[in-house]
Structure 1
Amino acid sequence: MDKLGIEPKLLIAQIINFSIIVMVLSKLLYKPILTMLEKRKKEIAEGLQLTEKMREEEEKFQQKKAKMLETTRKEAQQIIEEARKQAKEEEKEIIADAHTQVEHMLQKGKAEIELQREHMEKEVHQSAVELAVAMSKRLLGSVLSNEDKHKLIQRHIKELESVHV
């Protein structure tokens, strides 16, 4: 080894020094650096896990929100449909009431017209009877006796009643 320029004592001393430096560095630097790297790795993993969990929660929240919106839309649509149905029913009721009132008014008008017609017929009949009596009295006043006059008047009244009926 002398030929190579290596001294064995110096080589052993350097090996021992190197070993001591490696041990010191491993105790003082390597283990704390590894511990720090492990801790950092754990923190990063926890951060990623938390991020994933938050993403999942947001996704669940978005789904829940979408369901709530859909439910609200359906409820609103149902309320609108019910309101339309109720409005149609009320419209039908109002129309039916109006038809009933119109029918009632027509019946009342017809009844009133019928009463007026009957009243006018009675008045015309009464006037005709009075006119017949007056004419009969005037024409036959001097010729017929009271009993004949009475019979004649009764006969004319019966004729008028049969014509009227």
Structure 2
Amino acid sequence: MLPLFLAATDAAHAAGEASIVEKFGIEWHYVVWQIASFLILFGVLYKFGIKPTIATMEERNKKIESGLKNAEETQARLAAAANESAALVKAASVEAQKIVDEARKAAKDFADKQQAEAIAHANDLIAKAKQSTELEHKKMLDQARGEIARLVVATTEKVLARKLTDVDRAAYNETATKELTVI
């Protein structure tokens, strides 16, 4: 840039016009010192201001990049955990259904067993009641036969108007019993 400025100044001098340097009263040694102080100031600012700022920005960019990377990994792990939990819930649901089915089957088997035992017990009670009724019936028939035989003997004694001996009484009883058993 400086050579361009100098070339413009030389061209203006040759044309006979007053140069910018003369118009504005620019002195070269001050310009050089200003350029040197500007470069020194730029170097100090670069070293202590711009360079640390750039380093901090790069560090922040790395942290942001690392955070995004971790967020993506976390999101992937979260998706995997969600899939795994869904699979566990599904497996638990299937297992629970199996347990419920087994419990229903066990309850049905138990109910069937209890029903069979109740039926068997009822049949036993019915059989015992029939047996008891038959025994009562036989007992009543035996008692009725004995009573009828006694009445026959008593009636016969009264009709014959005499006292029967034990042998006669046994014979009448036997005859009455035979006739009653035929009926």
In the superposition, the TM-score normalised over structure 2's length comes to 0.63
Query: Are 2:62 and 1:42 aligned?
Result: yes
1:163 corresponds to 2:163: no
**What is the number of equivalent residue pairs in this alignment?**
158
Alignment map for 1:56-75 (pairs within 5 Å) = 56-75=76-95
1:6-57, Cα deviation, whole Å (9 max, x unpaired):
88x95x959x759946983665555444433432321121111111111112
Q: Residue in 2 aligned with 1:3?
A: 11
Q: How does 1:15-34 map to 2 (within 5 A)?
A: 17=36, 20=39, 24=43, 31-34=51-54
Give the 5 Å matches for 1:1-165.
1=7, 2-4=10-12, 5=19, 13=32, 17=36, 20=39, 24=43, 31-140=51-160, 153=172, 156-157=175-176, 159-160=178-179, 163-164=182-183
TM-score normalised by structure 1 residue count: 0.68
Is the Cα contact below 8 Å between 2:149 and 2:173 reproduced in 1? no
Give distance in 2, aligned partners of 1:109 and 1:158: 28
Gaps of 5+ in 1: none
> Cα RMSD (Å) of the superposition?
3.9
User: If you compute each CA radius of gyration, which structure gives the higher value, 1 or 2?
Assistant: 2
Q: Which runs of 5+ in 2 are unaligned?
A: 1-6, 13-18, 22-26
